[in-house]
Structures are given as structure tokens and as C-alpha cells.
Amino acid sequence: MRSLPVGDPGTPDSRSAAHYLWWLAKQQWRTVVFGMMFGIVWMVTGALIPMVIGKAIDAGITSRDTSALARWAGAFVLLALVQVAAGIMRHRNAVYNWMASSFRTVQVTIAHANKLGATLPKRLATGEVVAIGAADTSHIGHALDITARGSAAVVTLVVVTTILLTSSVKLGLVVLIGVPVQMAVVSLLIKPLHRRQQAYRDQQGALTGRATDIVAGLRVLRGIGGEQVFSARYREQSQQLRAAGVRAGRVDSLLEAIQVLMPGLFLALVTWLGARYAVAGEITPGQLAGFYGYAAFLVVPMRTLAEVLDKMTRGHVSAGRVLKVLRLEPEIADPVQPVALPEAGVLTDVRSGLSLRPGALTVLAADRPEDAIDIADRLGRYAEGEVTLGGVPLAAATRADVRARIMVADNNARLFSGPLRDELDHSAELDHSAESGAGGEPTAARPNGERSRRATGAAADDGRIIAALHTASAEDIIEALPDGLDSFVAERGREFSGGQQQRLRLARALLSDPPILIMVEPTSAVDAHTEARIAQRLGAHRAGRTTLLASTSPLLLDRADHVVFVEDGKVTAEGTHRELLANEPRYRAVVTRSVD
């Protein structure tokens, strides 16, 4: 029993769609070769059966040789058994090739998406990524799956042509000329089908992205009265997509009709010629029966070759779409000669003038929320900036080294499906990934769904999980669940309210326990009483570790060891919350506005 997916999918060849498909074939060359071998045996044995039937007819009717008839009957049974066994093995290998190439494509796409991080949503629409997972991976799998039957069809046509040439040169020449003509006609439809499928896929990705945006912002759209406008636009694009699908379907249906019509006409010609030659005495009755058998059998390899063109075309289109993701480069790349970051030190953002005191709980209050987000992005190296840790520039270190020391969590981070215990405790999942050989960069909770996890450490026990939930004031969430920590979380935590999701994300961030934790508005969706409990407990939970909160909440500011006030992206005042309230009018105005 083969295990899927593989631990290490390898490094894909992204030079072209054809190179990518060839790379996939090389990664699983054994099963591809076995599938082709069993496929050839399976189809060739089927091609030999009409010949054996013809020999049996000649032996039993023309020569009346019962022993020869028995031998040919035995040969027929043997061929049937071999065909059944080879067909089973061909199918097993073909299905494995389909699944393995699909899973490998998913793995390399997800790995590269994690590598891209925040770059991905800026460069590629959500609908495009969804469409890759929904359709393209399957088409790529079919392109590898069809190799078993495609190679068998080619070899079988050669075998059948040889048999026909041996029986009748004229019929053999008809087959030699007729088959390429049919394939040429079919290939004329492949290119327009290719273009229309490409147009359909582009519109499908755009429509999926629009649907995602509408669902995500439905509450806001209703609030501003824009729901009908966006719904009308969606309906219009949906009709355009339907029209594009109909156009592609027309060519596809024409292709399917020709795949039936042309082999039928061709085989009718072969049968008619064979009957004339039998009447003229140029071939035996057994050979005529064989020609009738081949007239029916040749439909299979010829339709298979047409299917090869179709699936290879679809796979080529889908591989090109996958390469759109794989060819994207992260906005921030690792240096050629990276240096190691110190285990601890002052984290400094030169542009804003912010310096985080090691081991302290600092709250950053900004007059503009976007300035706080920009600073957090630079500190986590999700945006370019002159930032140092212990005097070492973050730009001189690898992103993996940065992620191991600095975690940035904001309110766009997502909850993922699975048991709640595993969702909160990522170290257990990392240990499992390390054992299975899966690579990848530890990433932080980011707007695009990246999650920051420390790459080392044992799985947190229930005591640590409960402690993190207590700090996040989230015990009531667990108590309300039927199975507690073992309860299953739906995708994006749909069963939880916004405030509950935020508290669970806070507990998850605390359990990650990074040396430097940066959180953007960690309590914006909770009520004042819950926020007060979180503010009271957070400092003690993070004692000895550097923590930065971006918030203008007086409850958090009053509990901070150090408060930094930012105006127009620059640090203009520092101190305690009460000192700044007394001495900084601009700070007081920002904080009291947040209360209002």
C-alpha cells in the first residue's frame, strides 16, 4: 500500500507547463512506467483476441480440425485472463499516478504560497488560488493518468496495423492512412477548445474572487446599502461565465461527436472492404470475422488517442495556471549570505524611532491605525524597513530565523478546521511534520492566513493550554463546547462569534510563546469587562518576554510597562499611560477618542 501524500514533494520545474508535467512524471516514473507496461499488455491482448477468433473459425469451419480449434479456444481463454489481470494493474497504477500528481501539485503550491506569505494576495486573486485547488490539480492528475492508456493505444494501433497488413496489404494501408487523418481532424478542434477553456478558467477565477469578497464584506455592504449593486455585478459576471462555458461546451461537444462519427465511418469502410475481399477469395472467412472484430475494437484505441489530446491539453492549461503561482517571488527574499540573529536584544524600527525594551510589555498607541500596522509589518519583516534586533539587521537574516524569534498576530489571522486542541497547540503539529519529513518555513499569523509557530519545543500540555485560555479570558468558550478541547472547529471558526474568535487567536498566539510577540488590536472585538481581565493577566503571562501591543485601549495602556505614542508614523512621546495622559494633549485626545 503506497502512502500519499509524500513527505517531500521536491522542487518543481517551473520553466514551462510542459517541463512541469515532465517533472511530475519523473517524480513518479516507476508507477508511470508500470502503468504504461500494464496498459500495453491490457490493450494488446484485446487486439489479439479478434485474430484468435478468426483462427479458431478457420480451424473449426474451414479445416474442421478440432484439436486446432481447442488450441485456439485455449489461447482465447488465456488472453482473456491476461487482459483482466493487466487491466487491474493498469488501473491501480493509473489511479495512483492521478492522485500522486494531484497531491504533489497541491503540496508544492501550498509550500510556495507559504513562502510568498503576504505577497500572494497582492499578486493573485483569491479566486485564482481556489480554482487551482478545485479544478486544475484534477486536470493535471488526468494528464498523468492517461499516459497508461495513451501509450497502449499507440502500440496497439501498430500491432493491429501489422496484423491487417499481413492479412491484406490494401486494408493495412487504409488503416495506416485513415488513423492519422482522423487524428489530424480531431487536433484541429483542440486549439480552439484550448483557447475557450482558458477564457472560461480566467472568468471562473475572477468570479470566485468576487464571490469571496462579497461574502467577506456582506455586513459592510448591507450597512452602506451596496448589497444590491454588488449582487447585480455578480449576476452579470455569472452570466458572462455561463456564456463562456457554453462556448467551450460547443467545441467540446463537437469534438466528442467527431470522436464517435469519424471512427464509425472509418470502421464502416474497413468492414465494407473486408467483405468485398472475402467474397473475392482474397481473405478467409476467419480473417473476415477478424476484420469485423477489429472494426469494433479500433474504436477503443482511436478514441483513447483523442482523449489523450484532450486531457493533455487540459493538463497543459492547468499546469500553466499552477506556474503563475510558482513563478511569483516574495517581495522580501532571503539574503545570499545570511547572518544569525541574537537570541535576545532590543528590537528597533529606525523609520519610526520605536525601540522595544527586552522582557517588557509595550503598548503602541498611534493617531492613525494604519501607522501601527505598518510598524508591525516592518518589525516582523513583512515589509521592507530598517529594523534591527540586538544591532543585527533583520534584512541580513533568513525569514525563518526572523519568524523563530518574532511573531506578528493580527485580527485577519484565521482559525483552521480540526480539533480545537490541535488548533491551539501548534507545536504538536510541527513535531509531526518534522517526523514525516515535511519541510517549510515557520510563518506568522498574517492577513493572508499565514501562521507563526515556533519550530521547536514539545507539545503543550493541557495545563499550558488552560493557562493561555485563562489569560485570553476564553475558558467560557471551552466550557460551552460539548467535547471541550477535543471539539472540532469548522473552517475559519464559523461557529464562534467575532469576539470568541479573537480570544482563541490570542490564546493560540500566547501558546506559541515566541521570544518577541507583536499583536495588533488583540482586544478590539471583546467587551470592556473581558478586555479588563485580559489586560490584567497578559503582563504576568508574558513575564520575561518582549511583547508589543498596537492599541489605543486605555485598559491595555494602563497595564503596560511602557507606552509609545506615534504621530504621523514617528514616535513622539514615551512613558507610562498616566504620564502621557497628564503631559501629552495629542495622546490624551487619541486615547479618549478611542473611549468614545
Per-residue pLDDT band at 39 (split at 50, 70, 90): very high
Query: DSSP 3-state assignment of 555?
Result: helix
Which is it for strands 347-349 and 387-389: parallel, antiparallel or unpaired?
Answer: antiparallel
* Interval 29-38 mean pLDDT: 93
Identify whether residues 239 and 352 lie together within a single domain. no
Domain that holds residue 127: 17-326
Identify whether residues 282 and 360 lie together within a single domain. no
Identify whether residues 498 and 535 lie together within a single domain. yes
Identify whether residues 398 and 438 lie together within a single domain. yes
Instruction: Tell me whether residue 589 is in a domain.
Output: yes
Identify whether residues 408 and 529 lie together within a single domain. yes
CATH of the domain at 400: 3.40.50.300
Say what the pLDDT of residue 264 is.
76
Q: How far apart are CA 174 and CA 78, in angstroms?
A: 31
* Interval 384-392 mean pLDDT: 93
Per-residue pLDDT band at 213 (split at 50, 70, 90): low
Q: Give the mean pLDDT of the chain.
A: 82
Cβ atoms of 374 and 563 within 8 Å: the answer is no
Identify whether residues 231 and 302 lie together within a single domain. yes
Instruction: Tell me whether residue 351 is in a domain.
Output: yes
Residue 63 has pLDDT above 80, yes or no: no
Instruction: Tell me whether residue 63 is in a domain.
Output: yes
Report which of residues 251 and 487 the model is more confident about.
487
* Interval 177-195 mean pLDDT: 70
Query: What percent of the chain is predicted at pLDDT more than 90?
Result: 40
Identify whether residues 529 and 384 lie together within a single domain. yes
Residue 226 has pLDDT above 70, yes or no: no
Identify whether residues 358 and 465 lie together within a single domain. yes
pLDDT digits (tens, 9 = 90+) for 321-362: 899 888 888 877 788 899 999 988 999 999 999 999 999 999
In this structure, of 19-33, 184-198, 253-267, 277-291, the range with the lowest mean pLDDT score is: 184-198
Which of 454, 457, 474 has the alpha carbon at shortest distance from 466? 474
Query: What percent of the chain is predicted at pLDDT more than 70?
Result: 84
Identify whether residues 24 and 95 lie together within a single domain. yes
* Interval 155-170 mean pLDDT: 83
Report which of residues 298 and 97 the model is more confident about.
97
Per-residue pLDDT band at 266 (split at 50, 70, 90): confident
Q: How far apart are CA 553 and CA 521, in angstroms?
A: 9
pLDDT digits (tens, 9 = 90+) for 403-457: 899 999 987 777 878 888 888 876 544 443 333 333 333 333 443 333 333 333 3
Q: How far apart are CA 506 and CA 534, in angstroms?
A: 10
Q: How far apart are CA 426 and CA 177, in angstroms?
A: 63
Instruction: Tell me whether residue 9 is in a domain.
Output: no
Query: DSSP 3-state assignment of 393?
Result: strand
In this structure, of 42-56, 379-393, 560-574, the range with the lowest mean pLDDT score is: 42-56
Contacts of 316 (CB under 8 A, 6+ apart): 17, 18, 21, 143, 194
Q: How far apart are CA 26 and CA 32, in angstroms?
A: 8
Instruction: Tell me whether residue 339 is in a domain.
Output: no
Identify whether residues 444 and 479 lie together within a single domain. yes
Q: Is 68 exposed, middle or buried (0-12, 13-18, 19+ CB in 10 A)?
A: middle
* Interval 28-41 mean pLDDT: 93
Per-residue pLDDT band at 559 (split at 50, 70, 90): very high
pLDDT digits (tens, 9 = 90+) for 425-438: 765 444 433 333 33
Q: How many domains does the chain have?
A: 2
Q: Which of 326, 361, 382 represents a domain boundary (last residue)?
A: 326
Q: Which of 281, 296, 326 represents a domain boundary (last residue)?
A: 326
Question: Does this model's pTM top 0.75?
Answer: no
* Interval 187-199 mean pLDDT: 67
Report which of residues 473 and 55 the model is more confident about.
473
pLDDT digits (tens, 9 = 90+) for 475-526: 999 999 888 888 888 877 788 888 899 999 999 999 999 999 999 999 988 9
